Amino acid sequence: MFKLAPACCLSLILAASALPHACRAAEGGATRTDAEAMVKKGVAYIKSAGEAKAYAEITAKTPQFILNDLYLVVYKLDGTVVAHGANAKMVGKNLIDLKDIDGKAFVKERVDLAKSKATFWQEYKFTNPENKKIEPKAMYCEKLNDTVVCGGIYL
């Protein structure tokens, strides 16, 4: 019988857990690194261009804020959408009570996390705008003043 050292087992587990993300990226989906970079770019742009211009560009789906299935969403800390890179009809709506298919109030959780953390990842289920299927999603967010800027990847 073979015996594997705990560190070796952990390495194998970590490598296997990364496979779905690596395969997703190979299929054209954005990665966690892409999401973090996009959010940071969005935050910097909001700071430099001002809220009105930046929110309009994010919502207009300008290429600098879209990468495959990755787009930005900006919420006020009360749950009101101020910019949405996939669905302009959401702008101005308060989504604080929105729940995913499992009943998770993910917008409320998101704004609550933003009130206590400068940056964070959050997981929930959401409709992928590219294939219209409900899929697991991980959202990276950064608090900016009285808003939270987020970009997510489908897992």
Q: Is residue 4 part of a domain?
A: no
Q: Is residue 81 part of a domain?
A: yes
In this predicted model, what pLDDT tens digit does every residue of 25-60 receive, in sequence order? Answer: 445 679 999 999 999 999 999 999 999 999 999 999
Q: Is residue 16 part of a domain?
A: no
Other Cβ atoms less than 10 A from the Cβ of 32: the count is 15
Q: Is residue 88 part of a domain?
A: yes
Q: Is residue 10 part of a domain?
A: no
Q: Mean of the per-residue pLDDT values for the chain?
A: 85
Q: Any idea what the CATH number is for the domain that residue 147 is in?
A: 3.30.450.20
Q: How many domains does the chain have?
A: 1
β-bridge partners, 69: none
Residue 89 belongs to what domain range?
A: 30-154
Q: Is residue 121 part of a domain?
A: yes
pTM above 0.85, yes or no: no
The region, left, alpha or beta by phi > 0 then psi within -120 to 50, assigned to residue 132 is left
Q: Is residue 19 part of a domain?
A: no
Name the one residue in this structure whose structure tokens are 């702008």.
91
For the chain, which residues score pLDDT lower than 70? 1-28
The C-alpha atoms of residue 47 and residue 11 are separated, in whole angstroms, by 40
Q: Is residue 13 part of a domain?
A: no
The C-alpha atoms of residue 10 and residue 130 are separated, in whole angstroms, by 35
